[in-house]
């Protein structure tokens, strides 16, 4: 088991990162491509929950770790990627796929400077079809 946390100025939990041994092993084998996204409002405190995912050799989704963040600032995203790198023994991913958030994109460039940043296929399709059939919109 691996975990990291940060506290705010009043010693309250601010961010929490955790993964188990199986997830760490799976990431060492299948972690060349990393996908992650923040889900909102799914927990009691309305904090973003970030799940790091990959795909195994049978095309099944593999969960690498979870993070609860206090907010979605660049500092918070830098904080979450650094424990990820520590948990995975310093092995950065080769490609990172996310939802296109500009803060996440800049953070990936800071923490994983050699990684290729990609927009996930769901968001690509949504962006490409957003204005199809809407006459007069540019």
Model confidence pLDDT, tens digit, residues 71-102: 888 899 999 999 999 999 899 999 998 877 78
In a domain, 55, yes or no: yes
In a domain, 49, yes or no: yes
In a domain, 108, yes or no: yes
Mean pLDDT of 102-128: 77
Between 123 and 73, name the one with better pLDDT: 73
Residue 73: both structure tokens together: 């600032």
- Establish how many alpha carbons lie within 13 A of residue 83's alpha carbon, considering only the half-sphere containing its beta carbon: 23
CATH number, domain containing residue 9: 3.30.420
Mean pLDDT of 61-68: 90
Residue 97 lies in domain: 2-133
Residue whose token pair is 């809407």: 134
State in Å, rounded, how far the first CA of the chain is from the last one.
50
Report whether pLDDT(3) > 80.
Answer: yes
Mean pLDDT of 100-107: 82
Count structural domains, the chain: 1
Residue whose token pair is 């309250």: 12
Residue whose token pair is 């770790």: 65
Angle 74-87/102-111 helices, nearest 10 degrees? 40
As a whole number of angstroms, the distance between CA 74 and CA 106 comes to 8
Residue 49, pLDDT score: 87
In a domain, 82, yes or no: yes
- Mean residue pLDDT of the chain comes to 84
* pTM over the 0.85 mark: no
In a domain, 86, yes or no: yes
Residue 72, pLDDT score: 84
44: left (phi over 0), alpha (psi -120 to 50) or beta: alpha
Percent of the chain exceeding pLDDT 90 equals 38
In a domain, 138, yes or no: no
Q: Please state whether beta strands 95-98 and 33-39 pair in parallel, antiparallel, or not at all (unpaired).
A: parallel
């Amino acid at each position: 088991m691996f975990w990291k946390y940060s506290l705010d100025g009043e010693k309250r939990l601010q961010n929490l990162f955790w993964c188990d041994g199986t997830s760490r092993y799976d990431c060492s084998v299948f972690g060349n491509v990393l996908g992650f996204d923040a889900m909102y409002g799914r927990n009691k405190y309305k904090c973003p929950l970030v799940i790091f995912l990959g795909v195994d050799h049978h095309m099944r989704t593999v969960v690498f770790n979870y993070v609860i963040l206090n907010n979605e600032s660049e500092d918070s995203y830098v904080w979450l990627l650094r424990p990820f790198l520590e948990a995975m023994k310093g092995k950065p991913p080769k490609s990172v796929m996310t939802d296109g958030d500009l803060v996440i994109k800049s953070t990936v460039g800071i923490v994983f400077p050699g990684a290729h940043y990609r927009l996930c296929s769901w968001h690509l399709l949504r962006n490409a079809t957003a204005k199809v059939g809407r006459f007069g919109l540019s």
